[in-house]
């Protein structure tokens, strides 16, 4: 098992590698990113942690991309 020593606040700010995002975007044509900020957004339209994508009204007019919180990869 790989153990990271990166502090938790930084793990949740990592973004998906651009090559991975572009491959998925080519297939799904993302219109909204559901968990980002100005420093790591990959879509023009994005929701921040303060906007809370699980609680807000999100009319994206297309596919929604969500980068996972890397500090909590395991369920539970």
Which residues are within 8 A (CB) of 23 and not within 5 positions of it... i.e. 6 or more apart?
none
Q: pLDDT tens digits for 27-75?
A: 999 999 988 889 889 999 999 888 888 887 777 788 999 887 666 666 5
Q: How confident is the model at residue 1 (pLDDT cuts 50, 70, 90)?
A: low
- What is the 8-class DSSP label of residue 64? E
Q: What pLDDT, on the 0 to 100 scale, is given for residue 18?
A: 92
Answering whether pTM is above 0.75, one says: no
C-beta separation of 8 from 70 below 8 A: no
């Amino acid at each position: 098992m790989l153990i990271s020593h990166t502090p938790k606040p930084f793990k949740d700010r990592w973004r998906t590698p651009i090559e991975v995002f572009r491959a998925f975007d080519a297939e799904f044509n993302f219109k909204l990113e559901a968990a980002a900020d100005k420093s790591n957004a990959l879509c023009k339209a994005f929701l921040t942690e303060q906007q809370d994508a699980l609680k807000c009204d999100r009319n994206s007019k297309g596919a929604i991309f969500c980068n996972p919180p890397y500090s909590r990869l395991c369920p539970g």
